[in-house]
Structure 1
């Protein structure tokens, strides 16, 4: 990734300006989420050449690390909600098991969700009633948040 485009090839600043115009997020919320100063967020959003080549002497609006964070957030907000909820539930559980090292029994004990329901959610989420999927999604999302808060900054 070159720092100015998401992996889908989208213009990050344009996506974020569109989300702001549609009332999906504000510059203040972007600043609160990314912890990038309001001045840098405003300059990035105002820069119509964010996707264009910059002269070498000109400093970029955002650092490469900040641009990565903003790009990921922008892509998730602009395109992530197009993912089917059953696929999202499966992905949450796969993240907990594959990337975080939790087993399904761990998740079952922590969330107080039956192991059989978690197994079904991984195999065929649609086979569960909506209340069950909702309960798993909510509790597994809480675990994802706990994991993310425990990880070192920049990891």
Structure 2
């Protein structure tokens, strides 16, 4: 198994125009100059003292590492599995029932339960509606919790 070199992977994402430094800064609320310094430093080592950018804090390094993994490895997760995980967050962590989720997302509870039991039997359009609305609900809950 190969180690996941966050700096190298993130550098490649920027170089390949998958994401811009500006977008990374906006996503993370980290200074663009500090992110640039991180990407210019071999193997993610701390920037030299002569660098004008303040180095990233350990919290920021952890957050950028998590985001890098999510933007690369996380997107390889099957869409049905990802939607199932969102339902799990809503039910197991937030205490919503299937009926609550259906009412809040204005979807049919039977479609939701059918997806939970056998995703392959649910038409793509219905999955799309479930995914977009459940994603919105997860995001709304995260904002309400201050996450």
The match for 1:3 is: none
Q: Mapping of 1:92-131 within 5 angstroms?
A: 92-131=86-125
TM value normalised by structure 1:
0.82
The match for 1:17 is: 11
Task: Give the gaps of 5 or more residues in structure 2.
Answer: none
C-alpha distance in structure 2 between counterparts of 1:99 and 1:9, whole Å: 31
The match for 1:4 is: none
C-alpha root-mean-square deviation of aligned residues, in Å?
Answer: 1.9
- Higher normalized helix content (fraction of residues): 2
TM value normalised by structure 2:
0.86
C-alpha distance in structure 2 between counterparts of 1:106 and 1:9, whole Å: 42
Moved over 2 A (4+): none
The answer on whether the counterparts of 2:7 and 2:43 sit within 8 Å (CA) in structure 1 is no
Higher relative contact order, structure no. (Cα contacts within 8 Å, ≥ 6 residues apart): 1
Deviations 1:63-88 (A, max 9, x none): 12111211111001011121111111
